[in-house]
Structure 1
């Protein structure tokens, strides 16, 4: 599925949806899934490991410290709402060019 990524700027941060596929062979950006950024994450969905790996991977992609990335919704779902401080919506949208 492909779609238009929905990214909102709120209070000095951006908020967007991420669709996570846990237990992948490696961490990678995989395009979009509906209005969400699609990620393949190697970590299993156990005890928050996939959420942590997702945040660390996004922090590396966006060039921000790990502490600036947080899952704010969908903690136990494959579709998560992520908040990233210190970046613009345009920087997040530019990730699609790398997918």
Structure 2
């Protein structure tokens, strides 16, 4: 996750997984909400289908996406 990025919202693929760029800052969960929204748009699912499983306060997150 790259909070406060001018590139965002954007999801890129890398060797380590996905890199999610969001404009929101990591304050009061705003960046996490941005990550959920960006991933939901990327995978064409509802936001309720995307869940941060681990890493709520970390840049590295484990996310579950249900189809």
TM-score greater than 0.5 by the shorter chain: yes
Shift of 1:30: 3.0
Question: Is the radius of gyration larger for structure 1 or structure 2?
Answer: 1
Aligned alpha-carbon RMSD (Å): 1.1
- Divergent runs of 4+, >6 A: none
Out of 23, 29, 32, the position equivalent to 1:42 is 23
Using the alignment, how far apart are the partners of 2:38 and 2:24 within structure 1?
A: 11
Out of 4, 9, 12, the position equivalent to 1:27 is 9
Contact 2:20–2:38 under 8 Å retained in 1: no
Runs (5+) with no aligned partner, structure 1: 1-19, 87-99
Shift of 1:78: 0.2
Higher relative contact order (CA 8 A, sep 6+): 1
Work out the number of aligned pairs and report it. 66
Runs (5+) with no aligned partner, structure 2: none
Using the alignment, how far apart are the partners of 2:66 and 2:11 within structure 1?
A: 20
